[in-house]
């Protein structure tokens, strides 16, 4: 996960590094206990919030919840055994879930054993009598991590350790099918440089070819990705025919989940390669803006899946550009990049059949490749809107 935060010419980048974690028996027990405790806090607070609202039409704020923690610890002493920071972070998460609910309409759900099994703890640094105390310590050389209450544990997994720098913000400990992981979030500060772009690329996004550049390069959608996409579509069809909540219904649901995971991995691999190549070769990267529709009907599944790929490409191009101090720009959604002839600038309004791979301009008679033509137009449109970069 990467996030940005600008202030002046300094930019803060947040990046998470995930490792496999090797806790011993006692440490495993404590992690499991912490997972259970955070779930307990989450559910208890959710229940209390709902009760207060039902009975008094009052909302409970997260700081009110935090204040109740000591009392809860008295009632349930086992809560004292686990990392207290993890408990308060859970309360903040619940608060955020309610905040997001107004926007996403996803009402916070009670957590059970099958919910996402993880907890987060924040980094704290104390200096006492010239001694530095830190609750999270990552030792890259010896491949160990120290976490609150857990002490030292072996880690494995992330190879490009030279990348890891900056200051630790928090750590998320998770358990997936009896394996333990830790994801450490770092904050890095980089100074933004204003480079004048020397190489500029326009990018058109598609289905058969995922990416088409204004240089005429095409990156096709890999067959194995389409294979997974089709499998999901078929499973969805099956699912709709099964009786809801029956044994088979869950069986297919699980299969869909598994295939999604495979699809995501395959897609990420391909997309990372494409975006890496484009960003390292260009200084100004211009793309279209695609609107992601929510999945409304099953028959829109394929559109939904390909949109997901395309929005991931845009997301990666954007953060990799920032990461490397390059420029990134998205043109307006309504810019008619596929109708304009990149040769003479004439708008071919009569051009309706967007499935045609090639078309001839009614004014200059130039034969245009649909996608490359669009990519060139996108490049020009981005260039016109970014002339300030060249001064
Ligand atoms: Zn023309």
Mean pLDDT by 10 residues, the chain (391 residues): 58 88 96 95 91 83 83 92 93 87 78 83 91 92 94 86 88 92 91 82 90 94 83 89 85 89 86 95 93 53 73 92 90 89 90 80 93 95 91 79
Ligand 1 centroid to Cα of residue 178, in Å, is: 62
Ligand 1 centroid to Cα of residue 113, in Å, is: 62
Does residue 163 sit in the same domain as residue 51?
yes
Amino acid 201: pLDDT: 97
The range of the structural domain enclosing residue 286 comes to: 200-390
Does residue 160 sit in the same domain as residue 214?
no
- For residue 276, count CB atoms less than 10 angstroms from its CB and return exposed for 0-12, middle for 13-18, buried for 19 or more: middle
Ligand 1 centroid to Cα of residue 213, in Å, is: 19
Look up the pTM and report it: 0.64
Ligand 1 centroid to Cα of residue 347, in Å, is: 8
The total number of structural domains that make up the chain: 2
Ligand 1 centroid to Cα of residue 352, in Å, is: 16
211 CB contacts (<8 Å, ≥6 apart)?
203, 204, 205, 217, 218, 219, 274, 278, 313
Does residue 139 sit in the same domain as residue 237?
no
In the residue annotation, 288 being an active-site residue is answered as yes
Contact 176, 117 (CB under 8 A): yes
Task: Return the HEC string of 231-269.
Answer: HHHHHHHHHHHCCCCCHHHHHHHHHHHHHHHHHHHHHHH
Ligand 1 centroid to Cα of residue 214, in Å, is: 16
Does residue 217 sit in the same domain as residue 359?
yes
Amino acid 298: pLDDT: 46
DSSP3 helix / strand / coil % (the chain, rounded to 5): 45, 25, 30
Does residue 141 sit in the same domain as residue 208?
no
The token pair at 254 is 């699980």
Q: Which of 229, 283, 318, 371 is catalytic?
A: 371
Does residue 187 sit in the same domain as residue 279?
no
Contact 337, 381 (CB under 8 A): yes
Does residue 167 sit in the same domain as residue 227?
no
Does residue 229 sit in the same domain as residue 159?
no
**How many other C-beta atoms lie within 10 A of the C-beta of residue 77?**
8
Does residue 230 sit in the same domain as residue 304?
yes
The packing angle between helices 25-56 and 84-104, to 10°, is: 50
Ligand 1 centroid to Cα of residue 337, in Å, is: 13
Q: Which of 160, 191, 222 is the last residue of a domain?
A: 191
Does residue 186 sit in the same domain as residue 246?
no
Alpha-carbon separation of residue 59 from 39, 52, 56, 78 (angstroms)? 21, 7, 9, 28
Q: Which of 204, 229, 283, 318 is catalytic?
A: 204
The continuous run of DSSP H or E covering 308 comes out as helix 301-323
Does residue 183 sit in the same domain as residue 290?
no
In the residue annotation, 209 being an active-site residue is answered as no
Amino acid 61: pLDDT: 79
Q: Which of 229, 288, 307, 318 is catalytic?
A: 288
Distance of alpha carbon 142 from its chain centroid, rounded?
30
Q: Which of 165, 191, 217 is the last residue of a domain?
A: 191
Q: Which of 137, 171, 191 is the last residue of a domain?
A: 191
101 CB contacts (<8 Å, ≥6 apart)?
107, 108
Does residue 221 sit in the same domain as residue 255?
yes
In the residue annotation, 204 being an active-site residue is answered as yes
């Amino acid at each position: 996960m990467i996030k940005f935060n600008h202030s002046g010419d300094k930019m803060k980048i947040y990046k998470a590094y995930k490792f496999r974690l090797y806790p011993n028996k006692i440490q495993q027990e404590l992690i499991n206990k912490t997972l259970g405790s955070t779930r307990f806090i989450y559910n208890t607070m959710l229940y209390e919030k709902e009760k207060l609202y039902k009975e008094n039409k009052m909302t409970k704020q997260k700081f009110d919840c935090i204040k109740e923690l000591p009392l809860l610890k008295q009632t349930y002493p086992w809560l004292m055994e686990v990392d207290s920071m993890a408990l308060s972070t859970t309360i903040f998460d619940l608060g955020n879930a309610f905040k997001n609910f107004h926007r996403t309409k996803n009402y916070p759900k009670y957590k059970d054993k099958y919910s996402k099994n993880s907890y987060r703890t924040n980094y704290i640094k104390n200096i006492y009598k010239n001694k530095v105390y830190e609750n999270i310590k990552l030792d890259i050389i010896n491949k160990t991590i120290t976490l609150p209450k857990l002490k030292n544990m072996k880690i494995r997994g992330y190879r490009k350790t030279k990348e890891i720098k900056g200051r630790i913000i928090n750590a998320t400990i998770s358990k997936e099918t009896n394996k333990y992981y830790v994801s450490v979030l770092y904050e890095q500060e980089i100074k933004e440089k204003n480079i004048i772009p020397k190489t500029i690329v326009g990018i058109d996004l598609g289905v058969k070819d995922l990416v088409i550049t204004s240089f005429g390069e095409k990156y096709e959608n890999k067959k194995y990705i389409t294979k997974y996409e089709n499998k999901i579509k078929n499973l969805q069809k099956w699912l709709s025919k099964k009786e809801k909540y029956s044994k088979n219904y869950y069986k297919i649901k699980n299969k869909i989940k598994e295939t999604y995971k495979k699809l995501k991995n395959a897609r990420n691999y391909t997309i990372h390669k494409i975006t890496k190549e484009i960003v390292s070769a260009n200084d100004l990267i211009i793309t279209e803006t695609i609107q992601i529709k929510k999945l409304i009907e099953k028959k829109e599944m394929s559109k939904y899946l390909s949109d997901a790929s395309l929005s991931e490409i845009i997301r990666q191009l954007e953060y990799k550009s920032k990461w490397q101090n390059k420029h990134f720009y998205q043109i307006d959604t309504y810019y008619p990049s596929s109708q304009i002839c990149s040769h003479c600038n004439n708008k071919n309004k009569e051009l309706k059949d967007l499935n045609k791979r090639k078309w001839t301009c009614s004014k200059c008679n130039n034969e245009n490749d649909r996608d490359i033509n669009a990519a060139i137009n996108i490049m020009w449109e981005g260039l016109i809107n970014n002339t300030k970069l060249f001064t």
